[in-house]
Structure 1
Amino acid sequence: MTRPKPSSEDRRQMKSAARLYAVQALFQMESSGQSSDVVVQEFEDHRFGAEYEEGTFAEGNIDLFRKTIGDAVNWQARIDQMTDRALVAAWPIDRIDPTLRALFRAAGAEMVANDTPPRVVITEYVDVARAFFPEGKEPKFVNAVLDHMAREAQPEAFNA
């Protein structure tokens, strides 16, 4: 029996969940030293749509998740340099919160890959920042840094 095709809203939610999972996975990779292959497999086995006593994890877009992680790993030096240029000189990327570092790497991966319009990337990852920092100033900070990164990664998108 085939499953019904997800609606456009379902597909959007699955992409949003994949982005959240990508930030969590990049954080886990940095904090644990595990390889991307190990962490990706763990997330696919234990997060995507998994059901626990506490509730059900959202179903995520596995292709976007895998691509974001792969691009973040492959382009990490470039993404970190873009992030450093967007930050104040006194705050290089290695001095910021590790969750924000993972977020900038995931968002930077999408910007460098040029698969998603930069304004969509910014909006999506500001929403991710709100999920991690619901009471703080971090979402505004993320918006400013990602705007700078997007203008560097895809200047043509801002010339119109």
Structure 2
Amino acid sequence: MKKNKSVKRSSARLAAVQALYEVEISDSNVDDVLVEFQQTRWDTPQEEGDEDRGSSPLAKPDKQLFADLLRGVAKRRDELEEILSGSLSQEWSTNRLEDIVRIILMSGIYELYIRQDVPARVVITQYVDVAHAFFEGPEPGFVNGVLDRVAKTLRADELSKA
């Protein structure tokens, strides 16, 4: 049962990054994208014969976590970008980051900042995994380094106990 919950939460994180990217590139309304994801992307179960398709549908996500991430990151965008900006080296700015990398980082920062119920190491690992879903190069390592730096600031007490 716990593994199923973990898969649903991982799927929610990946879907939230995809949805936030859609909001950003299309300038769509967050709630419209939320509804669209819930109604059309997950409620289409794989049917017999779909094995021939190149891919299978996304695992059913934790819809509550998905909605929290999507709305929370959108609502706190300026605050999250400020934290992100402060965690980058001087030669980097948030404008220099690829959109999807910035969205992955802001989602991870949101969880580190707001979702104290999720251990910092879990948050970091999950968003490095999300980065691996999009990139094969150095980006997952970059995500790991930035989120680790943010966690050491936002969750210093938790990480010092570990």
TM-score by length of 1: 0.89
Contact 2:19 2:33 in 1 (8 A): yes
After superposition, the CA RMSD in angstroms is: 1.4
CA shift digits 1:113-132 (9 cap, x unpaired):
12311111000000011111
Distance 1:50 1:149, change over 3 A: farther
Q: What count of residue pairs does the alignment treat as equivalent? A: 153
Q: State whether structure 2 residue 132 is matched by structure 1 residue 130.
A: yes
Which of the residues 30, 33, 36 maps onto 2:30? 36
Deviation at 1:156, TM superposition (A): 1.6
Give the 3-state SS of the residue equivalent to 1:159 in structure 2. helix
Greater CA deviation, 148-157 or 135-144?
148-157
Deviation at 1:48, TM superposition (A): 2.2
CA shift digits 1:92-144 (9 cap, x unpaired):
112201011110111111111123111110000000111111x2111111100
Percent of aligned pairs with the same amino acid: 33
Q: Partners of 2:91 and 2:26 in 1: how far apart?
A: 27
Matched to 1:21, the amino acid is: A
Deviation at 1:49, TM superposition (A): 4.9
- Could you tell me which residue of structure 2 aligns to residue 77 of structure 1? 78
TM-score by length of 2: 0.88
Q: State whether structure 2 residue 141 is matched by structure 1 residue 140.
A: yes
Unaligned regions of 5+ residues in structure 1, if any?
Answer: 1-6
Q: Partners of 2:152 and 2:83 in 1: how far apart?
A: 10
